[in-house]
Chains A and B, each alone.
Chain A
Amino acid sequence: MKHLTDEEIMLQIADGKLDLLTILFNRYHVRIYNFFNKMTHNKMVSEDLTQDVFLKIIKYKASYKNGNFAAWVYTIARNIFSTHYQKTKKQRANEIGDDLLKSDETTVSENREDELDHLQKALQKLKSSERELIVMHRFQEIKYDQIAQIIGSSENAVKVKTHRAIKKLKEIYFQI
């Protein structure tokens, strides 16, 4: 079974062979978990959301129509993130207010020692639509044309938006 493509496996799952989902879980769970972790900056939530992705794959297996599996799975992941985001919006507004204060303090005291931590904070200051592009393109190494398919846009628009998002992130990164 291991030599089958994601698409071949997914078609069999849609056909009722649910146990094959374990193979797709092995191939994708780390990537999807990291996608959520970059988007939410919260490990516990990211694990829950990753679990949700695989539950949704089972629930909506009939809607899979032989397209690129990675694109399909990221579409599901995006929907789950956006539901999560809407739900926690109010709560988040308060948290981010706190974060801003904290991050200013730490930059002064730690003197940008922890580059990664610093980047994570800068990333959280972007709009989620911008953050998403950077996460997909730079961290998950998804090609522009596939991102375009996932977010329902054109390849050119994705290129331009990604570039702008990176530029904005760079400015935030060097400012704070």
Chain B
Amino acid sequence: MKCNDIQHKFTGFLDKSLTEVANSEIKKHLKSCTNCNQELEELKSFLAVLDSQEMETPSANLRSNFNKMLAQEIETVTPKVIQLKLQQDWKSYLKIAASIVIIIGAFLFGKHQSNIPQIVSIKNENQEEVLALLENSSASKRILGVSDAEEFTKKDTKIIEALINRLFFDKNANVRLAAAETLSKFSSEIIVRDALIKSLETDENSTVQIELIRILAKIQEKRAIESMQKLLKNEETPQFVKQQVELNLPNLL
């Protein structure tokens, strides 16, 4: 065997990860070759240096930043759970309400009285209720209002305007996040699209930014390209937000 082939197996030889045959071949060769002996000694001492490397301890910042990040992630997940439960309750409640309306309606129809004005007024009451929720001082109530707003159609401009208001001005990032999610369902409206772009330019919360980038890419809003590129250039933009932009930008180009 040539020296080169032997030397190729040296790391395995030192690791003791070779077959017995290969092992004895190397031992045999080493007895007669000074060159390879020298090479092996060099490698041994070098590996000793390599293996003397110890793990470094990161600064305390890493743990505290991790804790912050985790708390934030848990917080953004929790409202969604509440929202689902409430929605279910609301739906079953609606079912009962609907059957009552039908029974009463049938009864009243039997009496030749129209129930149409009543239905309209129920809808108006609902709208008032959601609008009131959206202005509530408790953040979780406002999130509830935002998720209830999903049930409305794009004709309810008052609701859409109230949602945009939340997206722009709510102090709580989770409310803004929920507002962005709900608004994405009304993305056929031009004022909604404008609002989403505008908010990507102004919102400084990275979680909200990530959601907005995702939504704008999904609804194929090409006018957002410019603001996304601005985010990429900005040195203060966190790494993971930039990654989100890089992930989604190609879908728009």
**Which positions in A face B, CB cutoff 8 Å?**
16, 18-19, 21-22, 25, 29-31, 33-34, 37, 43, 46-52, 54-56, 58, 83-84, 115-116, 119, 134, 138-139, 144, 159-160, 162-163, 166-167, 169-170, 173-174
Contact = CB atoms under 8 A, between A and B. Distances in A.
Contacts, number: 98
Contacts of A47: 58-59, 61-62, 65
A22 B50 CA distance: 31
A29 B50 contact: no
A55 B243 CA distance: 12
Contacts of B34: none
B84 interface: no
Which size bracket describes the interface of B in this complex? 35 or more
A34 B55 contact: yes
Contacts of B70: 18-19, 21-22, 25, 54, 58
A58 B73 contact: yes
Nearest to B58: A33
Contacts of B11: 162-163, 166
A163 B7 CA distance: 10
Interface in B9-39: 10-12, 17
Given A52-B239, A54-B69, A134-B50, A163 B59 contact: no
B121 to A, nearest CB: 41
A52 B53 CA distance: 25
Contacts of B63: 25, 29
